[in-house]
Structure 1
Amino acid sequence: MSNKQNYSDFEADVVVVGGTAAGCSAAIAAARGGMTVIVLEPTPTLGGVTTNGVHCFDTGSLQALSGIAEEFVDLVLRHYKQVGLVDPMLASRSDVFWEFHVAERIWRELLANHPNITVITGAVPVDVVVDRKRLREVHWEPASDSFGNPPGEPTQPNRVRGKVFIDASYEGDVAAWAGAPFDIGREARSAEEPHAGVIYTATHERRVDDQGFLPSTILPGSTGAMDDNIMAFTYRLSLRYLKDGSAGRMQARPSSYDPGKYAWNSAALSADGVPTFGPDVIPTVNGKMILNRRYEGNDLLQGTREFILSHPRERTAIRQNFFDHVLGFLHFIQTEGGMPQLVLAEDEYVENDHLPYILYVREGRRFRGQVKMTEANVNPYLAGPGPRPPRQPDSIAIGDWAIESRRCNDEPSSATKTYEGSMFMRALRAPYQVPYGCLTPQGVDNLLVTTTISASHVAFCALRVEALWTETGTAAGIAAGLSIGSGCKVSEVPVSDIQEEMLQRKCKLTYFSDVETGHPDFVAIQKLALKGFVPDDERYRFLPDLAATWGDLVEAAVLCFDIPISVTGFHFEGINPGHRSFRYVESLYDLASRAGVMLFPNMRHPVIDVPADHLRPELRTRWLELQVDAPVSSAQGEAFLDLLLQSLGHSSGHPSDSRSGSPENAPAPAPMLTRGALASLLVGAARA
């Protein structure tokens, strides 16, 4: 990585706008594919909010992390092991926490490993050049301060040219200037989005509230009407509590300070003298914490929409208002709140007066892509029986976070005392997939987005986490390289090519709680899952080392080889139409029968007694047996596959055998075929 500061024109294969976690991941992914990359970042910092207030990836489980996110977490844990820090926050089973200066150093190290990446910090995009639906140039001006504000008056812009552009910013300016259509605001309630529009909930709390409303409840006043509102933003301050009781550096009172905006609850002290703050303060690592008060605290709603839709030159005053609000809250805590011991962490942002560089933009533009995600794609109960949302065959990323929104209106309900738009649907949390079409905005042929992706407001409430953005960034970087290599539009890159490359780079495209990237059958399991073989398991397990059954084999075979469903009769004893295996085993029967292959024993009888009523399907008359719950041996699986390939008109690669491949005539049942080995067997044969 080279870090350039002063030049006017530059060119690369891929231009990444925004040094966020998504932007860093996109740059790394493209560079690993042999592309030259330029990253434009308005501030001096890299990593986006992962180094400026968000102390973890916000994932419901570590198993949802893979690829570059997994590399990042491994480096975080390695750092703390090397420095000898023992902290209970590092032992979390659902996420890994970090200090912000540590996170920034790691992002810089990851980028520095690639000499074909050039990072330009202090570069504020101000304009673009578009020609015939292709983005040609991004114009930028040097930032006038450390917060990424451009000069007050226009200066001679610098130009960056590229073949493919990736907008990895939180605002989406470059994509908007390029002409990509977008949405901002909230859709109305609908059948596929029951939590859309104006809504009051009791979902942040885990107990019955003061008015008797149960947790996870939609409250009166929820009209579901659409509007232009988005959720509150904030600056997330990194703090430390001085245990010795001494007052630290007091935060100066901003000129716009109004104590009526804030509230602070006195905290009880634990046995070791540290306050127990509750949800208003989140503990992180090494004795640090961040402010997280949703109401009458650090969040601010005023100016959110204006900030997103304004030109960067017009954001300076709006940004300052957000800063004044959060610094006013810290001043309030130290004075009226009676806690002068809560101070800015002394070793964070040491060159910026210990203040974060980046505003936490929780929701910006949402660009209309080839595909749009809605609540039905992240809620497991709307478009299917659960426990997962609907499968996405074009998946390029997975996430594991609940639908979570901060307030979208400032006035609480007079009836329920709750803030409109605020919700945290823990009960609906389920691992979801993101299809590639969400990353390809309409109307621009060489542009990808990673953070302002195509989604409704409610869907975005689950998507808006850095864990996911590292994956969408990775996918965008890979897609950019493939687009350049083939000379096609980014929307025309075969998704299967992106998926293949992502799997080779150890990225998960379907969530399983028990299949890590180091498993020997990882790639095959992921490919089989993309075809639709996902076991029903409330804990999202694949059980890769469990013995595969004949039911597993017939279902996986039909899905893996894209065999059309075909049911002509009821041929198997004990496998009725309601059975999960019914359509798959009958489809294989029809396929083999057409091909004249004895895939199952007794497919041809010397004498068949016709049912009494030949005009109706007679469920009591069956001629074949298949114990779908019985385990399959490796030899049985290979024999069955040989005959299946013959049925498909392919060479099996093994000596021809007229025997059926199912249990009655198959070789001795040892050793057993595991589910993981089954995936590798079928996927390997399909690829050949």
Structure 2
Amino acid sequence: MKRRNFLSLVSAGSGGVLLAAPSITQAATTSRSKKIKNKADELAADVVIAGGGLGGCAAALAACRNGLKVILTEETDWIGGQVSQQGVPPDEHYWIETHGAPASYRDYRNRIRDYYKRNYPLTADAKSRTNLNPGDGSVSRICHEPLVTVAVLTEMLLPYISTGKLTLLTEHKIDAADVTGDEVKAIQAHDLKNDESVVLNATYFIDATECGDLLPMTGTEYFTGTESKSQTGELHAPEVANPKNNQAFTLCFAMDYQPGVNNIIDRPKDYDFWSTYVPKMDTPWAGKLLELNYSDPRTLKPKDLGFHPEGKKTGNMLNLWLYRRLVNKDNFAPGTYDGDITIVNWPQNDYFLGNLIDVSEKEFQKHVEGARQLSLSLFYWLQTEAPRPDGGLGWAGLRLRGDVMGTEDGMAKYPYIREARRIKAEFTVLEEHVGAENRRLVAGDVAGKKSADFYDSVGTGYYHIDLHPSSQGVNYVDFGSLPFQIPLGALLPQRMNNLLPANKNIGTTHITNGCYRLHPVEWSIGEAVGMLVAFAQLKNVPPRAVREQKNLLTEFQRWIRTQGLETHWPNS
């Protein structure tokens, strides 16, 4: 076999309702599988996982830990998904240090901190902090550099790579599938670096891609966009469904600031468009997109934002510089960093002029390039036109940090995608299960203080329901939710027997995706699916039977708890 491009090392509850709307876009009626043409170069394993994000890595760790042989593919050259290739520091909940995620996720977070303590010249104060936050960004308790995640996840996977249990194929994109009836037989990965293909054979396949790419390839039924109120009964659902209504995506970038230095980049080719662009939304935007204001997600009224790259206070306004700051120079020995480093994932570079779901590769790349031009235009605007507290315009010392993002232009390797194809699942999580207001309406004031109790829970999570402006002109939809469980039924396609989801492609709706799409939940989903495959293999039953047979479900839940997965929130 030819040398493959392996990783380069770096230092259901009660009250459930199934969607009954066949009119929503489904792969079986809109897309044909691309057949595998050449089986000359093949690899085999117990399970093949497509996508090396947090869900894919967690699934691989769980499956390998329990004796399975695994092949894990990743389209880019960095594993880690949201937190690495996409440059998004972890979005988490208040209790993440102690519960509300698997023990392995907290281990990952602590390894991030330990990596800094072992390898970076931290100040004595920073090094003494148990819960070190390297960047002290306000969005997360553990804002850190993307490459540290790559190093830590690599460290976690290496024992399985070196023993042959795990084959890790970076820069490999899945482009075809071999399907017979309700079974996936093999998938084909294209080596993007060497322009070769390899066929991957397995008993089970896990789709941990960012868009749910395996679903149309395998003919697995799925949903996209927005369901209608008549289909789901959700309080915040619109009257009319729209399969094309997906949340904006963002091409994030990293930057720092050098006072007194002129780092102004060439004027981006689309700057004239973006500098005057006013978003066209169902509820009016605050003004031009490239301004320090936006629509408040909760009220949709105009809200001002602050910006100061030296971290100074901006009145009562959020200083965007501090929001997703990856490096706080004050946490490190004097002279280590000239200044802070921050990530730009703001309302001003959310791209909603096109869709990345169920479009051609040419259309996909067109919109990614559009998002690149938007982000470059935002950066140029910050350098030249952003209002300063002293009355001047622009911060010429702002500098793109491609070295932080692993790219030449400073942009992320891959767009931050908030919404994917979602499987037509055995059980679909609705707003009535997790939305605070909708929950009170269906369960009463007392019961409405707690999310639905799923008898088949295999994980826990929490985030408010946060839907960014969409490709179809729907402004923010943002409201409160409750700490929730992850039902096993949402991880099981209704028809396919050996294909499972491990990212944002589980059985949620457009609305509930808004709280099931964040970092620790994706990890929880991936780990549960990895263990489900191992359990099904051990018991010689299809994954669906684990949920259908009460004794198997009880045994499975007990087993995953012994390995650190949480199935319920503490009563307190």
Aligned pair 1:390/2:452, yes or no? Answer: yes
In structure 2, how many angstroms separate the alpha carbons of the residues matched to 1:404 and 1:430?
Answer: 13
In structure 1, how many angstroms separate the alpha carbons of the residues matched to 2:451 and 2:475?
Answer: 23
Residue of structure 2 in register with 1:165 after alignment: 205
> Residue 434 of structure 2 aligns to which amino acid in structure 1?
V
Q: 1:446 to 1:377 in 2, by over 3 A?
A: same
Residue of structure 2 in register with 1:496 after alignment: 554
Tell which structure's C-alpha radius of gyration is larger: 1
In structure 2, how many angstroms separate the alpha carbons of the residues matched to 1:283 and 1:464?
Answer: 18
Structure 2 residues not aligned, in runs of 5+: 7-39, 127-131, 278-288, 293-304, 328-339, 387-393, 547-551
Task: Select which of 329, 341, 344 maps to 1:291.
Answer: 344
Q: 1:31 to 1:40 in 2, by over 3 A?
A: same
Measure how far apart 1:137 and its partner are. 0.8
Task: Select which of 352, 366, 372 maps to 1:317.
Answer: 366
Residue of structure 1 in register with 2:242 after alignment: 227
SS in structure 1 at match of 2:399: strand
Q: 1:359 to 1:257 in 2, by over 3 A?
A: farther
> Residue 501 of structure 1 aligns to which amino acid in structure 2?
W
Measure how far apart 1:16 and its partner are. 0.3
SS in structure 2 at match of 1:129: strand
In structure 1, how many angstroms separate the alpha carbons of the residues matched to 2:157 and 2:236?
Answer: 40
Aligned pair 1:9/2:63, yes or no? Answer: no
Q: Deviations over 1:296-353 (max 9, x none)?
A: x20111222xx21135466333322222222222122222321223322364034544
Aligned pair 1:278/2:318, yes or no? Answer: yes
In structure 2, how many angstroms separate the alpha carbons of the residues matched to 1:378 and 1:40?
Answer: 33
Q: Deviations over 1:92-117 (max 9, x none)?
A: 89742221111111111111121311
SS in structure 2 at match of 1:77: helix
Aligned pair 1:327/2:388, yes or no? Answer: no
Residue of structure 2 in register with 1:671 after alignment: none
> Residue 237 of structure 1 aligns to which amino acid in structure 2?
F
Structure 2 matches for 1:22-61, cutoff 5 A? 22-51=55-84, 52-61=86-95
Aligned pair 1:429/2:485, yes or no? Answer: no
Contact 1:68 1:471 in 2 (8 A): no
In structure 2, how many angstroms separate the alpha carbons of the residues matched to 1:340 and 1:131?
Answer: 59
If the length of structure 2 is used for normalisation, what is the TM-score?
0.75
Contact 1:439 1:454 in 2 (8 A): yes
Q: 1:267 to 1:408 in 2, by over 3 A?
A: closer
Contact 2:429 2:508 in 1 (8 A): yes
RMSD over aligned Cα atoms: 2.7
Contact 1:20 1:168 in 2 (8 A): yes
Q: 1:332 to 1:410 in 2, by over 3 A?
A: farther
In structure 1, how many angstroms separate the alpha carbons of the residues matched to 2:73 and 2:467?
Answer: 29
Residue of structure 2 in register with 1:448 after alignment: 500
Residue of structure 1 in register with 2:217 after alignment: 177
SS in structure 2 at match of 1:230: coil
Aligned pair 1:111/2:157, yes or no? Answer: yes
Specify which structure has the bigger relative contact order, considering alpha-carbon pairs within 8 angstroms and separated by 6 or more residues: 2
Q: 1:507 to 1:252 in 2, by over 3 A?
A: farther
Q: 1:308 to 1:361 in 2, by over 3 A?
A: same
Q: 1:254 to 1:12 in 2, by over 3 A?
A: farther
How many residue pairs match? The answer is 462
In structure 2, how many angstroms separate the alpha carbons of the residues matched to 1:434 and 1:180?
Answer: 21
Contact 1:25 1:477 in 2 (8 A): yes
Task: Select which of 290, 315, 328 maps to 1:263.
Answer: 290
Contact 1:279 1:293 in 2 (8 A): no
SS in structure 2 at match of 1:457: coil
Structure 2 matches for 1:70-469, cutoff 5 A? 70-82=106-118, 83=120, 84=122, 89=133, 95-115=141-161, 116-143=165-192, 157-189=197-229, 192-197=233-238, 224-228=239-243, 229-242=245-258, 244-248=259-263, 250=265, 253-255=268-270, 258=273, 259-261=275-277, 262-265=289-292, 267=306, 269=308, 278=318, 280-281=320-321, 282-286=323-327, 287-294=340-347, 297-304=348-355, 307-312=356-361, 315-337=364-386, 338-345=394-401, 347-380=403-436, 381-384=440-443, 385-408=447-470, 420-425=474-479, 428-451=480-503, 452-469=505-522
Measure how far apart 1:401 and its partner are. 0.3
Q: 1:248 to 1:497 in 2, by over 3 A?
A: farther
Measure how far apart 1:274 and its partner are. 7.6
Structure 2 matches for 1:632-647, cutoff 5 A? none
Structure 1 residues not aligned, in runs of 5+: 145-150, 198-223, 412-419, 513-534, 536-540, 542-688
> Residue 402 of structure 1 aligns to which amino acid in structure 2?
H
SS in structure 2 at match of 1:10: strand
Q: 1:453 to 1:481 in 2, by over 3 A?
A: same
Q: 1:449 to 1:283 in 2, by over 3 A?
A: closer
Measure how far apart 1:443 and its partner are. 1.9
> Residue 67 of structure 2 aligns to which amino acid in structure 1?
G
